[in-house]
Amino acid sequence: MGDYIHDENLKLFRKRLAEAADEKQRQTLRDLIKQEAAKIAARGSANPSAN
């Protein structure tokens, strides 16, 4: 369930990044994308058989 939420967050953040109007907003979204990707990577490395 957690991976699904992180995947959906990534989709949403990437969509909003493509639509972002200013640099501050784009940077915030890039940071959020990095954080979500790190959560997925950490979860995957903690339990590789769960994928």
Average pLDDT over residues 13-37: 97
Say how far apart CA 31 and CA 13 lie, in whole Å: 10
- In this predicted structure, the answer to whether residue 26 has a pLDDT above a threshold of 60 is yes
pTM: 0.79
Q: Of all residues in the chain, what percent carry a pLDDT higher than 90?
A: 63
Q: Distance between CA atoms of 43 and 29, rounded to whole angstroms? A: 21
What is the identity of the amino acid at 14?
R
Cα(17)–Cα(4) distance, rounded to whole angstroms? 20
Buried b (16+ CB within 10 A) or exposed e, 11-23: eebeeebeeeeee
